[in-house]
Amino acid sequence: MDNHLAEVLVCASEAVQEGGRGVRFPVTAFGAAATGFVVRYGGTVYAYLNRCAHVPIELDWAEGEFFESSGLYLMCATHGAVYLPDSGLCAGGPCKGGRLRPIGVRETDGRIYWQPDEYIRPVQA
């Protein structure tokens, strides 16, 4: 099996707002249906598996809403765990010492793409 899968288009760059609304995208994570998400922080895009390090539930409190009110941290809507947007490292709450699972992401020519890996794959049609 080819371990290098082609990158997958997520969205147009303007759909991901600095410290604001992110974009969810479907993935297969460790063999199960899941979602990933991409956010913009400090002018750079970051992508993670949409799964809290504390309890494996999705983070966003409304679709695409991952940042807490200051726009400085990603926050789990269920238990209030907060994460650094540029590393996925837990900065406070019940996930202390944990981190979000990163997904390779690249922005080019006004578009954002994610890179599948050994564990995070595109959804099969």
User: Which of 117, 47, 111 lies closest to 83, judged by CA?
Assistant: 47
Binned average pLDDT, 10 residues per bin, the chain of 125 residues: 75 95 96 96 97 90 91 91 96 89 97 96 84
Q: Which fold has domain 8-121?
A: Rieske Iron-sulfur Protein (2.102.10)
Length of the chain: 125
What burial letters (b/e) apply to 30-48, b meaning 16+ CB within 10 Å? eeeebbbbbbbbeeebbbb
- Distance between CA atoms of residues 107 and 120, nearest Å: 19
pTM above 0.85, yes or no: yes
Task: Say if residues 125 and 28 touch (Cβ distance below 8 Å).
Answer: no
pLDDT at 37: 98
pLDDT at 49: 97
121's tokens: 């794959």
Tokens 């539930």, residue? 57
Domain coordinates of the chain in residue numbers? Answer: 8-121
pLDDT at 2: 45
